[in-house]
Amino acid sequence: MQITLNGHCKEVTDNTTVAELLTSLGLDPTRVAIELNQQVISRERFGDTLINAGDSIEIVQFVGGG
């Protein structure tokens, strides 16, 4: 199925969770902030939040320094 990831089209397998998407992208779930269809998804819900066809997902990955 097709989704929009950070403004770009992306093909992902059906029934993918947010946590699985992060793994496939090689991202550390403790360092990201995620918005699914403009709703903030909290960390404890990454594993059971399913992504649907046509969804828009925004992932911000933070790096250290301040």
Residues at the site binding other proteins, with contacts judged by CB under 8 A: 28, 30-33, 35, 38, 40, 42-43, 58, 60-66
Residue number, 14 or 26, with CB nearest to other proteins? 26
Closest CA to 46 of 28, 64, 63: 28
Least Å distance, CB 51 to other proteins, is 17
CB of 46: closest distance to other proteins in angstroms?
Answer: 11
Sequence length of the chain is 66
Q: At its nearest, how many Å lie between other proteins and the CB of residue 52?
A: 19
Q: Where are the beta strands (DSSP E) in 1-66?
A: 2-5, 8-11, 32-36, 39-41, 56-61
